[in-house]
Amino acid sequence: MSSSAENWLLQRPRVDQAKVIDRKLLNQLVKDDCIDEVTAMAILDDADYDSQTPGWRLVLSDLIEEPLWAELVGSLFGLASAELSDFTIDRDLFSIVPEELAERYQLIPLTRAGDEVYIGITDPREIAVYDHLRSLFTGPIRLLVVPPTQIAEAIRVYYMAADTSELEHVEASEVATLTEGDLQALREGGEAGKIVELVDRLFAHAIGVGASDIHIEPYGSQVRVRFRIDGILRVGPNYPIVLCPWIVSRVKVLAKLDIAERYSPQDGRVRTKMSGVPVDMRVSCLPVAGGEKVVIRLLGHKMLGKSLSGLGMGEELLESFRAEIMRSQGMILVTGPTGSGKSTTLYAALMERVNDEVNVVTVEDPIEYEIPDLNQVPINKKRGVTFPKALRAILRQDPDIILVGEIRDHETGCIAAEAAVTGHLVLSTLHTNDAAAAVHRLIEMGVPCPLIAPSLQAILAQRLLRAVCKDCSMRYTASPTELEALVPHGGLRGIKLVAGRGCAACEGSGYKGRIPVHELLLVDDEMRGLIGEGATTLQIRQHAIAHGMKDLRTSALEHVFAGLTSAEELHRVVNL
């Protein structure tokens, strides 16, 4: 037999075996009256059938729960099943099983029982893993089938914590020294090798997984670390609470904050390099019960290189928005909740106008990205530099374009609107659910309708949806109930949607990266009349849609039907 034929036999049957396994699982579910034969046949006959993980399709189709999946798959291979919550994880085993091996085969060491070692796995077909594990342990090994999402999460959490497990053995005398407020001990502890390594590892991991924020917080007897990834907080490693002052001290040293001040909030910045790449972080320290909580915002410099065309706007919307930002005067607002990408969009819009012929001035709190081509004014309330005061000063600086970080109050709103009707282009943000609601948000702040109507030119509302992970995505036929929830009374049938199984690449979440959805409300003369007459948000929205505005939900639906994101994500984010 040729080597190419041997390779085909090694690779091709793997997919076929998974389908055979799924057929056996479906037969068992039919026998147990869990599903009917029609549903079982529809799954197997699906042209888009993907069987990378045996039986996992049944979980994603909501036919079975993860524990039942583990039980059924385990029984086919003569293995027991388990969930990670069934065990007290033995962290000593992580120094024996390399992280690379755990990632490659999606396994996790669980615990010891005498000489026997329990290992959680996701795919019993991985024959090679037996030999690897036997070479690591002298005693017997017992494999248990554990759901893939639990395995991926455990690898992420436990292997990060394992490298610093020796820090748990801190002497009680050292704790006493810290609680007595010995600043020298606190500073030395924050600069100790292992603490430096711990914090550096947290930074490196956050950057590696694309986190936007790191949360370090005292939590009972532990320091809990969480990472905000694609808009969702994910639990990271836990450390003994005794390390909290040292970890906080290390971050404060980097941010040039006062390590002696532990009872008042502090803010600072960290500018450093990780693997030769410049990293800019914004640090916030807040006193809480049990110590201090630190939140570190990782500022995405890679976002600054993005043009408007690289932000995922539809062609028609992009053309309309570009036309608005090329105006010589008027106010353009970008709205959405915190973390929806408003700043990225504003900077991308602004950079399309920056040249030697225009004077661009920004007023921000704080300045997230320092850009050489811009005149950026930071808010400093301690020195009396507020948004209204800064705006008044800026208007005496002969500006062409003004970026206001956020319109937060009556005075800022009025000055920005007045600037927009007196020959300046004003860009700013608001926190509202959709574009139409921005008008009434300004009214609530006390900005007069006769000033809002002539100043407003366009309002762009946006959200960020998590994209389904390309490495573990799979198509499935949506149920009538799911389609009815997406498009009420739409009568849709047989539509294929996409979901993620969860894998190492997406750390078990089924999502990786985010995609934007937008709605652009253009203010025409008729709408100015509605605003001047005090029209409701609903009336403004209906007028905009009647004149061609595609709303957020419609834009999100297009992404769902295009297979870029899931129905579940749409319901989570676009809950209008």
Q: How far is CA 487 from CA 309, 467, 493, 494, 546, in A?
A: 29, 20, 11, 13, 19
One-character DSSP codes across 350-385: HHTT-STTS-EEEEESS--S--TTSEEEE-BGGGTB
Structure tokens at 247: 């970890």
Q: Which amino acid is at 436?
A: A
The pTM of the full predicted model, rounded to 2 decimals, is 0.71
What is the DSSP secondary-structure string of 510-560? SEEEEEEEEEEEE--HHHHHHHHTT--HHHHHHHHHHTTPPPHHHHHHHHH
Specify whether the CB–CB gap between 228 and 210 falls below 8 A.
no
CB 40 within 8 Å of CB 29? yes
Q: Quick one: how far is CA 216 from the chain centroid? A: 17
**How far lies 159's CA from each of 100, 151, 165, 201, in Å?**
10, 12, 10, 11
What stretches of 239-386 show up as alpha helix (H) in DSSP? 244-254, 301-304, 315-325, 342-351
CA–CA distance, 466 with 101 (Å, rounded to integer): 28
Dihedral, 529, 531, 534, 535 alpha carbons, nearest 10: 90
Looking at residue 567, its pLDDT comes to 93
User: Which CA distances in Å does 509 have to 49, 138, 213, 470, 542?
Assistant: 21, 35, 18, 12, 37
pLDDT at 554: 94
Contacts of 484 (CB under 8 A, 6+ apart): 490, 492
Helix 193-208 / helix 148-162 crossing angle, nearest 10 deg: 150
Query: What is the β-pairing status of strands 277-288 and 291-299?
Result: antiparallel
- Which tokens go with 420? 């927009």
CB of 469 closer than 8 Å to CB of 506? yes
Which pLDDT score, from 0 to 100, does residue 467 have? 95
Collapsing DSSP to helix, strand or coil, 119 comes out as strand
| The token pair that represents 166 in the structure block | 């020796």
Task: Kindly give the confidence (pLDDT) of every residue in the chain, 576 residues in length, as a single tens digit, with 9 standing for 90 and above.
Answer: 333 333 322 333 444 566 677 777 778 778 877 777 777 777 766 655 555 567 777 777 777 888 888 888 888 888 999 988 888 888 888 888 888 888 888 899 999 988 899 999 988 887 778 888 888 888 899 999 998 888 887 887 777 665 555 554 444 344 444 444 455 555 555 555 678 888 888 888 888 788 899 999 998 888 999 999 998 998 888 888 888 888 999 999 999 999 888 889 999 988 877 766 778 899 999 999 888 999 999 886 555 556 888 888 989 999 999 999 999 999 999 999 988 889 889 988 988 898 889 999 999 887 877 777 789 998 888 788 888 899 999 999 999 999 998 999 999 999 999 999 999 999 999 999 999 999 999 999 999 999 999 999 999 999 999 999 988 888 888 888 899 999 998 888 889 999 988 776 787 788 999 999 999 999 999 999 999 999 999 999 999 999 999 999 999 999 999 999 999 999 999 875
CA 332 centroid distance within chain: 27
Q: What is the DSSP letter of 308?
A: G
In angstroms, the CA 455 to CA 457 distance is 6
Phi, psi of 460 (to 5 degrees): -105, 115
Structural tokens at position 7 = 């390779």
116-126: b or e for each residue (b if 16 or more CB lie within 10 Å)?
ebbbbbbbbee
Judge contact between 476 and 51, C-beta under 8 A: no
